[in-house]
Amino acid sequence: MTIAGVPSLRLFLALWPDDATRRSLARQQQEWGWPPGAALVPPEKLHVTLHFLGAVPATRLPALRPLLAVAGQSFELGAEGARTKVWPGGIAVLELAAPPALQELHAALATALRNQGFASELRAYRPHVTFARKATGARPPGAVRPFAWRCDGTWALVRSSPREGYQVVAVDALR
């Protein structure tokens, strides 16, 4: 991908779960009734997007490094207040409640993005885990199984590539 002849990267900032949380999310994903042709997100790629940046010229990647210094407080995501849903366009998700510390991290990252000359989304933040695309007609399970995702260490700058999927470019710990 290029922008005005300059190579670009499709990037986003995300909460990246630990292995135990990832297994729990994958079990939730497996409990759905998936229609033929549904494109399930591989378990190792399950995450919560904090900010989608879209196509960013590769030359701007160093300007994103200061985002790694954004401090946040620890918080927990879990089944309380969570629900499964198929959004318009066939996006199957696990919607999550947004504790104040997550909202504060999201806002701090938005400010840091703007300070570095990047746009941040204006619509309301809806934290979620995408389980599948092309999932119109998917049948969610009756209830969300209990799980606890302690967000006290890992959020990431991630590259999305049509051929290679998601690759973590940089990771930093919440402080």
154 falls in which pLDDT band (50, 70, 90)? low
Rounded (10°) CA dihedral 36, 42, 48, 50: -100
pLDDT-wise least confident of 23-37, 76-90, 93-107, 115-129: 115-129
This prediction has a pTM of 0.87
CB 161 within 8 A of CB 50: no
% of the chain exceeding 70 in pLDDT: 93
Kindly tell me the burial class for residue 164, based on how many C-beta atoms sit within 10 Å of its own C-beta (0-12, 13-18, 19 or more). exposed
Strand partners, 2: 7
> Rounded to an integer, what distance in angstroms lies between the CA atom of residue 86 and that of residue 71?
33
